[in-house]
Amino acid sequence: MTNCMSPLFRRGTIVHMQKEYLGRLDYRDPLYEILLERVFTDVAHPCFHVNKFSRGGVYQYVEENSQRAIVGKFFRLNDRKPERALRIQGEFEKLQRIRSFGFNALPHYVVQPLAREDSIGLAVVEEYVCGRDLDYYLVQAIYCNGGEALMTRLAQLAGFLHELHERTCSQRQVAVESVCGYFGKLVEKLHTQTLLDNEHRLEAYRLMDCWLHRLALEQQQSVLVHGDATPTNFFFAGDRDVIAIDLERMRDTDRMVDIGMVCGELKHAFLWRTGCGFPAEPFIRHFLKKYCSRFPDRKEAFRIITRRNPFFMAMTEFRIGRNRYLDWNYRKRLVFEAMECLRWGLRM
């Protein structure tokens, strides 16, 4: 989210996210003391107005007198999925880690963690950052002739992700089995939801094996990825600043996890809103070219990345297809598009 605590972000921009006003934070709430003693230490007798974001477990707190805003992210103490709680709990350290690589200053910036308290299920208190997210520019491109602005923002996002991947590049090779393990989980979920029948489920695994062989031969170096590179997790402030939020899924893996996710999300944005995914292609190609332009041999980088992209792009389409808030027929189409992407990509 954004930090109006810092003058860096006072650009008159807006945040593209729904929220519901819940009232004032009770003085007796243990969170009040945490905010008072660890975050708003310079404010006497603060009063916090609480807004609940549309995402579960995420709240905004606006201090009445200073108008400073922060975000609190919570996990369930008795979550039936312990791995989910652990992932959310780990975001505080992940934010600290990635900022240590130089992402604590614009133009490439990762939101600052301010506090945490596991005893009350508070995973992280972080800055609230103001800006327009990538989804805003997608909507403008689709409905308001804003294609040029989207191209500009995609180039900036490509620069951010390239910096993230290159600064954190290790000597370890990508464990492709873990990548394909996640792919398998998606296939099983879609099968359970009857979006993949048994015949297509088996075909998905056959295609995965073919991709596993290709990816294993290429022996890419592991990097830190954002891990949830969706349009609502990147904000743009001013002319060139990129701000990343929601890094709870950050991990060491293949850089294509981020790249393929951006491409898959672009395809989905146009397909979902217009019924046709083809108009996304120029934007996907532009994003890939801008990412590859930062390598010494941009042509070779583009060749390698475009050859590997279909698997990760299809995986993103599978991932989106799980979401029950989407229309059933659209989800079926998205899964069909993913299967076509897997087949077509192997012919490259």
The CATH number that applies at residue 339 is 3.90.1200.10
**Residue 135 near residue 15, CB atoms below 8 Å:** no
The half-sphere exposure of 131 on its side-chain side, counting CA atoms within 13 A, is 32
Residue 1 in any domain: the answer is no
Instruction: Give the residue from 127, 149, 164 where a domain finishes.
Output: 127
Domain of residue 191, residue span: 133-345
The verdict on 155 and 107 lying in the same domain is: no
Please state the domain count of the chain.
Answer: 2
How many C-beta atoms lie closer than 10 Å to residue 231's C-beta? 20
Q: Which two tokens stand for residue 83?
A: 């791995």
Residue 2 in any domain: the answer is no
- List the one residue out of 330, 336, 338 whose CA is nearest residue 273: 330
- Residue 313 has phi, psi (to 5 degrees) of -65, -45
Residue 178 in any domain: the answer is yes
Looking at this protein, which amino acid is placed at residue 205?
Y
| pLDDT per residue as tens digits for the range 253-312 | 999 999 999 999 999 999 999 999 999 999 999 999 999 999 999 999 999 999 999 999
Angle between the N-to-C axes of helices 328-345 and 256-274, in degrees from 0 to 180, rounded to the nearest 10: 130
CA pair distance 54, 71, nearest whole angstrom: 13
Predicted local confidence at residue 83, as pLDDT: 80
Instruction: Considering only residues 213 and 8, tell me which one the structure prediction assigns the higher pLDDT.
Output: 213
- Residue 52 has phi, psi (to 5 degrees) of -100, 125
pLDDT-based confidence at residue 17 (cuts at 50, 70, 90): low
Instruction: Give the residue from 127, 148, 172 where a domain finishes.
Output: 127
Beta strands in 168-300 (DSSP E): 223-225, 234-237, 241-244, 251-253
The verdict on 109 and 242 lying in the same domain is: no
The verdict on 151 and 83 lying in the same domain is: no
